[in-house]
Amino acid sequence: MPIHVPPLPRPPFRPLRPPLLHHLSARTLATTRPLPAPSPFAFIASHSQFAKRPARPFPPPFNTPALSSFTDPLSAFKFSRPGYTRPQKERTEGASFLSGLTNGDDAVLATSTHLGVADGVGAWNTKAHGHAALWSRLMLHYWSNEMLSGEWGFKRKCGDGNGGRIAGSGSGSSGSSSNSSAAEETISETPSESPPPPPTPTCGVDPILCLQSAYEKVLSATSKKAFHPTLTTSSLSSSSSGSDATLDDPADEEYYSAGWKGTTTICTAVLKGPHLLLTNLGDSVGFVYRPPSPSTFLLRTREQWHWFDCPRQLGTNSPDTPTKDAVLESVDIQDGDIVILASDGLVDNIWDEEILAIIRDVLAVPEAEVRETIGEGGDRGRMALLADRLVEAARVVAVDPCAESPYMERSIEEGVGIEGGKFDDISVVTAVCRLRGEKRGEMRGRVERGWTAEEVERGG
């Protein structure tokens, strides 16, 4: 007798180009976290990367990040020895699943409402219990969680105005990142280097306070207490008392109680009504380009440094904090604006003029060529092509010891005299801002009638 198999209630989720998508499907996201507040715009995003070395395995209870897709879940670490139990959830802040994607010591994150790039300082990899990639990934993971469901995220109500925390450009001087001496000693700070903290926003999502909350959770998740697994007597005998027992091997006790050290820079982009909020701390960068501008960006964040090759950074031994040192800039966006977030591996190897030229070239590529090259057309395919070309242009310079580069130029200005490109991880997230389907006609009509951004958001 044949067995009847009922049809699936909906088609299985099959991403067209898995690396381009966020780690959760829309269905999963809707059932596990509050949905972001409605915005007339959405990101159609992609990413590309080049790693100077393979990513290090993540320590328990964190998992080695999936390299193939944002949609691949990372299963929780399971202790292999009998009697081990998973650390309590509050000890690791739910780190059995990490948002985003790791690239060497960098990490990237792309969703329809927020984007992020973090650059872990590689010098920590030479230190005992140092892990640069873990810090960059955790910063984006907890920041995304805060954006989606935290007190200062998308669920925060907004009464009037944009509530944005708006500041000027960064407050650093020339330099670069990735091998900061902050891994060896505490960074000294002078009062003149720190800009005054921007005012607290009155309503709506606040990326800086979300970043501050995420930073505190990373500190907790990587602390000594978070990495102390327990043995339960109930798992070793018939006793049901469940009292904790200590580890038998002193080496295991020392390993699991040491915690993990590191620092990272971070740059994020968030959609808030008709505004784009760019937040930066360190020498990662964000660009906003409005076609068909031939020679300028609508907005470019400025790098922040303590000194040459030592950017502002979050983590061990660093005095920098999001609320004190992060800079947020706001711009009114339009349908078709392009947003690029990148680690310093991009801007250390190619100049802004070259980035502009690549953007213009990609926008001029015929749709058929985009499909043939990427395997997908439309906005997503074009953003993938843009990310790939930016990374390839930077990679060519990074591996050339005789090339001219912005990093070489800055080193000469500092009296160091480094030649060639900078061999570094290169991580790029590209996105185009599009009006959501139900808002497209309504919002375009308001913009064409000359409404201000606030009037567009309020509806009059």
Percent of the chain exceeding pLDDT 70 equals: 62
Beta-carbon neighbour count of residue 212 at 10 Å?
20
Residue 166 binned pLDDT confidence (cut-offs 50, 70, 90): very low
Whether 69 maps to a domain, the answer reads no
Q: What share of the chain is helix, strand, coil (3-state, %, to 5)?
A: 30, 20, 50
Whether 30 maps to a domain, the answer reads no
pLDDT for position 246? 41
Whether 276 maps to a domain, the answer reads yes
Strand ranges (DSSP E) for 198-311?
Answer: 231-232, 244-245, 263-272, 275-281, 285-289, 299-300, 305-307, 310-311
**Contact by Cβ (8 Å): 409, 347:** no
Positive or negative: CA dihedral 169, 171, 173, 174? negative
For β-strands 426-435 and 338-342, DSSP reports them as antiparallel
Q: What are phi and psi of 302, to 5 degrees?
A: -110, 140
Q: Total domain count for the chain?
A: 1
Whether 341 maps to a domain, the answer reads yes
pLDDT for position 458? 52
Structure tokens at 383: 């953003």
Whether 459 maps to a domain, the answer reads no
Per residue in 9-39, pLDDT (tens digit) is 444 333 334 333 333 333 333 334 545 545 7
Domain hosting residue 427, numbered range:
37-58+98-223+259-454
pLDDT for position 38? 55
Mean pLDDT over 157-166 rounds to 46
Strand ranges (DSSP E) for 209-337?
Answer: 231-232, 244-245, 263-272, 275-281, 285-289, 299-300, 305-307, 310-311, 314-315, 327-332
Structure tokens at 251: 């080496």
CATH code where residue 342 lies:
3.60.40.10
Highest mean pLDDT among 26-40, 200-214, 395-409 belongs to 395-409
Q: What are phi and psi of 49, to 5 degrees?
A: -155, 155
Per residue in 174-202, pLDDT (tens digit) is 333 444 444 444 454 443 344 444 444 55
Closest C-alpha among 333, 336, 290, 337 to residue 457: 333
pLDDT for position 25? 31
Residue 153 binned pLDDT confidence (cut-offs 50, 70, 90): confident
Q: What is the CA radius of gyration of the chain?
A: 23
Per residue in 236-277, pLDDT (tens digit) is 223 333 333 343 444 444 555 568 899 999 999 999 989 999
pLDDT beyond 70 at 225: no
Whether 16 maps to a domain, the answer reads no
Q: Which of 130-139, 175-184, 351-360 has the lowest mean pLDDT?
A: 175-184
Structure tokens at 109: 């994150």
Mean pLDDT over 306-318 rounds to 88
Whether 86 maps to a domain, the answer reads no
Query: Assign residue 170 a region: left if phi > 0, alpha if psi is -120 to 50, beta otherwise?
Result: beta
pTM of the predicted structure, to 2 decimals: 0.72
For β-strands 327-332 and 338-342, DSSP reports them as unpaired
Percent of the chain exceeding pLDDT 90 equals: 46
Whether 21 maps to a domain, the answer reads no
Buried b (16+ CB within 10 A) or exposed e, 176-185: bbbbbebbee
**Residues making up the chain, counted from first to last:** 460
